[in-house]
């Protein structure tokens, strides 16, 4: 098989902060509408923290449970007073988050160039399939590879090994595309190539001495480099 691009989903293809408008509406009724952006950031950070902690504990649960528990924690931490109905609604919104504006066109360019693309996510296959379908980009991926298949979370080396085994491709022919530095470092540590999608020019990269093979501002810039 030729080179494969394995795209992280949450934060790379799909905008996890696409929930802010719904958060603002829900929080406004409780006098906290101005905290929607902060709530979104803290929810996302805690979601990832919970996956890391569960990975270290060997206590795997599906990623949507980490997301739900992180939502409840953030509500408690910010004392925003969300009810069960609010949390159910927001979890539904999380299942239909939008793709980043340039994603569809960039993926079309990879397809035209004959480059194989797969989605590679901490989310379950069912969740990711639905998310990509609703975002209108599922058809651009040859496969969806989920960590749920090995009951580990990124950046465990086992998940990157699983990706290669599923695709039957050598490490040097596999590129991880992610906006998350921990994912890029995990892939590089596992012997894969990796491109960091640095969506914010202020975003720092972890000073671990493990660098991405490529850094780009968005998926359009990635397509310019690889097609």
**Which residues are known to be catalytic?**
8
Q: How far is CA 79 from CA 34, 73, 76, 156, 166, in A?
A: 13, 10, 5, 33, 44
Q: What is the dihedral of CA 190, 193, 197, 201, to 10 degrees?
A: 90
**Dist. CA 208–CA 59, nearest whole Å:** 27
User: Buried b vs exposed e over 123-143: b needs ≥16 C-beta within 10 Å?
Assistant: bbbebbbebbeebebeebbee
Answer for the pair 70, 2: CB distance below 8 angstroms, yes or no.
no
- Burial class for 147, CB neighbours closer than 10 Å (0-12, 13-18, 19+): buried
Tokens standing for residue 32: 């906290």
The distance of Cα 185 from the centroid of its chain, to the nearest Å, equals 15
Pure H helices in the chain: 20-28, 36-57, 63-78, 84-94, 103-112, 125-135, 157-167, 181-189, 219-226
């Amino acid at each position: 098989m030729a080179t494969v691009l394995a795209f992280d989903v949450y934060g790379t293809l799909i905008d996890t902060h696409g929930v802010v408008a719904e958060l603002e509406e829900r929080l406004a009724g409780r006098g906290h509408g101005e905290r929607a952006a902060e709530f979104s950031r803290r929810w996302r950070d805690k979601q990832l923290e919970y996956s890391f902690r569960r990975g270290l504990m060997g206590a795997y649960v599906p990623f949507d449970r980490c997301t739900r528990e992180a939502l409840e924690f953030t509500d408690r931490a910010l004392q925003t007073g969300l009810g069960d109905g609010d949390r159910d609604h927001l979890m539904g919104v999380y299942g239909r988050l939008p793709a980043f504006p340039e994603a569809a066109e960039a993926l079309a360019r990879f397809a035209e160039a004959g480059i194989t693309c797969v989605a590679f996510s901490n989310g379950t296959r069912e969740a990711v399939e639905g998310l990509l379908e609703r975002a209108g980009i599922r058809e651009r991926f040859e496969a969806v590879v989920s960590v749920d298949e090995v009951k580990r979370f990124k950046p465990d080396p086992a998940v990157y090994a699983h990706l290669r085994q599923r695709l039957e491709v050598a490490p040097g022919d596999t590129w991880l595309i992610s906006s998350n530095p921990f994912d890029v470092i995990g892939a590089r540590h596992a012997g894969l190539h990796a491109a960091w999608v640095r969506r914010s020019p202020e975003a720092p990269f972890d000073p671990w001495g493990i660098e991405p093979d490529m850094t780009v501002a968005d998926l359009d810039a990635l397509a310019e480099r690889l097609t």
